[in-house]
Homo-oligomer: A and B are copies of this chain.
Amino acid sequence: MPSELESCMESLIKVFHRYASKEGNSNSLSRRELKELMENELNTFLKSQKDPAAVDSIMKNLDTNGDGEVNFEEFVSLVVGLSIACEQCYQLHMKKQQAMK
């Protein structure tokens, strides 16, 4: 059985390809595929973005090689950025909890 971390790596690949395979190049996300992925898989984060053009600006930031598509490496950098932000919140939360003791 895979470990929790191995399952997580498998999920990253599966989720990416679930959306990337919908149209065009099956190894990268078009703008439409990225939008669908974010609406379904990162809905909490997307709702917190006040800018209605959030997906477009995220797409622009992620697409480091400028080909108008988001490949797996570019996609992972989004997940990493969000995870690091979440982990910083977690650390702050733990600090506050300890201070209250």
Which A residues contact B (CB, under 8 angstroms)? Answer: 3-17, 26-27, 40-44, 72-73, 76-77, 79-80, 82-84, 86-87, 90-91, 94
Taking the closest CB of chain B, its distance from the CB of A77, in whole angstroms, is: 8
Q: Is A40 a contact partner of B87 (Cβ separation < 8 A)?
A: no
B residues near A82, Cβ cutoff 8 Å: 9
State how many angstroms separate the Cβ of A28 from the closest Cβ of chain B.
Answer: 11
- Interchain nearest-CB distance for A25 vs B (Å): 11
Task: Judge whether A79 and B44 touch: CB under 8 Å.
Answer: no
Partner of A87, one of B16, B26, B44, B77: B16
Residues of chain B within 8 A (CB-CB) of A79 are 5, 8-9
Query: Do A86 and B42 touch (CB < 8 A)?
Result: no
Taken together as a complex, chains A and B put the C-alpha atoms of A15 and B5 apart, in Å, by 7
Query: Which residues of chain B are near A94, meaning CB under 8 Å?
Result: 26
